[in-house]
Structure formats: structure tokens, C-alpha cells
């Protein structure tokens, strides 16, 4: 089972007061953040479903230093048995060409409300590209249980454009009108 999500981020990072209108992320990826999940299966009875069915989890236009935006998707074990569920990132790109790598500056946090745990926090570009296991709901046993039949997990994706630390030589204006895009794929381990 594979559940994919596309995330694209574009920022208007400004120190001055003049700000042009952001562009439509649906047209050119230069104006927003999107995370769009889809679902497939790897075997009989082993399915994952999502609450958004292809709709964006989050769209952001004009994120500025010190601001964050969050969106949520609920992933469910729609299969008939307990499943081991993984997630990974792929296809990370940023632009436009010749501009600073926005994925190195922007921070991403992924929180699982079901387990009450942050499953990732760090630079966007550092989200694992190899599948890593997402533990199921605690069952009183030690370790990392699988997801029970019908178990759901609400994942909150928060993207933060860090403010400039005092005394920093970082010029956030270099990130003006930059963007990034990647996919996140949930899968069942066989």
C-alpha cells in the first residue's frame, strides 16, 4: 500500500515594506505550499486511506520570516489486518535555478496526534528519503506496534520560515519568490 503526498512551498520573504502579490501555486509553483495525498495498495486487504483524497493538506502564499503554517491529513488502516506503516520523502526540488535552496532554510515538523509524538522536526530537506516506521497506537507493549485494523492517525505538517537570528549574516531577501516541492509516501511494509 502506498499513500503519496506532494508538498510544494513558495515564499515571499521580505525585509522591506513593498511586497508584490504572490503567484498562484497551481500555475507555476512560485506562490504556495501544497501537500496532496493519494492512495494505492500493495496487496489484498492491505489498504491505507486518507481524509483528503487528493485535496491539498496545506496551501501557503507569502510566508514571511518568523511565520508558520500547518495542515493536517488523517491516514487510516483500511485493511483487514494489523499493518506496519512507513513514510518517506522523494522528489525534492527547489527553485528557481540559481537561487538559494529553500529546503535547507525552511523547517518542517510532522506531528502524529494519535501517538502524541513528533515524528520529524528539522530542516525540510532532511526529512528521510528511506521509509521509516510510524508506530501504531500504544497497546501497553514495549516497542513499536503496528496499526490495528481501522486505526487512524492525524498527521499535522507545519512549515516554518525561521526568523533571522540577531547578528546573523543571512539575507532572507535571497529567498524571495523561491519554492520547493516534494512527495511524501506512506506505505505498508510487507
The band of 49, judged by pLDDT with boundaries at 50, 70 and 90, is confident
Question: Where along the chain do its domains lie?
Answer: 2-14+29-166+176-188
Select, from the ranges 34-38, 95-99, 155-159, 164-168, the one with the highest average predicted confidence (pLDDT).
Answer: 155-159
Strand partners, 101: none
Question: Does position 21 have pLDDT exceeding 70, yes or no?
Answer: no
Distance CA 178, CA 190 (A): 38
Is this structure's pTM higher than 0.85? no
End-to-end alpha carbon distance in the chain: 9
Distance CA 34, CA 78 (A): 25
Summarize pLDDT for 91-146 with one digit per residue, the tens.
888 888 888 888 888 899 999 999 999 999 999 999 999 989 999 998 777 788 99
Measured in residues, the chain has a length of: 190
Distance CA 36, CA 134 (A): 19
Radius of gyration of the chain (CA): 18
Amino acid at each position: 500500500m502506498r499513500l503519496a503526498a506532494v508538498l510544494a512551498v513558495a515564499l515571499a520573504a521580505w525585509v522591506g515594506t513593498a511586497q508584490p502579490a504572490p503567484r498562484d501555486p497551481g500555475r507555476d509553483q512560485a506562490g504556495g505550499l501544497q501537500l496532496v495525498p493519494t492512495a494505492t495498495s500493495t496487496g489484498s486487504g492491505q489498504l491505507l486511506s486518507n481524509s483528503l483524497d487528493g485535496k491539498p493538506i496545506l496551501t501557503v502564499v507569502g510566508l514571511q520570516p518568523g511565520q508558520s503554517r500547518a495542515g493536517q491529513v488523517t491516514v487510516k488502516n483500511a485493511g483487514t489486518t494489523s499493518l506496519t506503516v512507513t513514510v518517506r520523502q522523494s522528489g525534492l526540488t527547489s527553485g528557481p535555478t540559481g537561487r538559494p535552496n529553500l529546503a535547507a532554510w525552511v523547517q518542517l515538523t510532522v506531528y502524529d496526534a494519535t501517538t502524541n509524538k513528533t515524528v520529524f522536526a528539522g530542516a525540510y530537506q532532511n526529512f528521510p528519503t528511506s521509509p521509516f516506521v510510524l508506530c501504531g497506537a500504544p497497546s501497553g507493549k514495549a516497542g513499536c506496534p503496528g496499526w490495528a485494523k481501522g486505526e487512524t492517525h492525524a498527521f499535522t505538517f507545519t512549515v516554518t520560515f525561521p526568523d533571522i537570528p540577531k547578528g546573523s549574516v543571512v539575507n532572507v531577501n535571497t529567498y524571495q519568490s523561491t519554492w520547493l516541492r516534494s512527495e511524501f509516501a506512506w506505505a505498508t511494509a510487507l
